Amino acid sequence: MSDSATVTREKIEEHLALTAEARAKATPCAQGAEDEQRLTSMMRMCDDYAADARHFMESGDLVSAFGAINYSHAWLDAAVRIGLLDGHGDDRLFTLP
């Protein structure tokens, strides 16, 4: 098995840091109350999955931690993709539209 196929604490910490960087960089661009509510819900999911990832990592469940942090980042990507967040053209942190 290659090193890239092994889930380690370090790999999870890298993804936690990447997601935190993306979360800090993205800025809201939702327009209207309905879009703002959707964005709030999406950011809550992002934050909840990141917290879950930390919890799983600390309890030694690295596979679940890796899955959770990827879900967390996916919520950010989705919000950028549908125009509720501005990813500022950063194609390293986001899957841009």
pTM for the model: 0.92
Here the CATH number for the domain that contains residue 68 is: 1.20.1270
How big is the chain, counted in residues? 97
State the total domains in the chain.
1
In a domain, 41, yes or no: yes
In a domain, 8, yes or no: no
pLDDT tens for the chain, 97 residues: list them. Answer: 556 789 999 999 999 999 999 999 999 999 999 999 999 999 999 999 999 999 999 999 999 999 999 999 999 999 999 999 999 999 999 998 7
